[in-house]
Amino acid sequence: MKKLLLPSIATALLLFSGCSSKEPAVDAKPEAQKQAASQQNKSNTGKNGGEASDVATEEVSSNMQQVGSESMENANSNEMNMMNLQSKYQTIYFDFDRFDVRGDMQEIVQTDAAVAKNAPGSFNIKLEGNCDEWGSDEYNFALGLKRAKAVKEALVAEGVSSSSVSMVSFGESNPVCNDHTKECWAKNRRVDVKVIP
Q: Specify the range with the lowest mean pLDDT, choosing from 44-58, 101-115, 141-155.
A: 44-58
Any domain includes 26: no
pLDDT in tens, 18-41: 544 444 444 444 555 556 555 655
How far apart, in Å, are the Cα atoms of 34 and each of 24, 113, 122, 162, 171? 17, 72, 56, 68, 74
Any domain includes 195: no
Any domain includes 82: no
Beta pairing, strands 190-196 & 92-93: antiparallel
pLDDT in tens, 50-98: 555 555 556 655 555 565 556 566 667 778 888 999 999 999 999 999 9
Any domain includes 134: yes
* CATH number of the domain encompassing residue 181: 3.30.1330.60
Any domain includes 145: yes
Q: Range of 126's domain?
A: 90-189
Any domain includes 19: no
Sheet holding 92-93, edge to edge: 92-93, 190-196, 124-130, 165-171
Instruction: Enter the pTM of the model.
Output: 0.62
Task: Name the residue among 41, 129, 125, 53 with its Cα closest to residue 89.
Answer: 125
Give how many domains the chain has, as a whole number: 1
Any domain includes 39: no
Any domain includes 74: no
CA-angle at 28, arms to 26 and 30, nearest 5°: 85
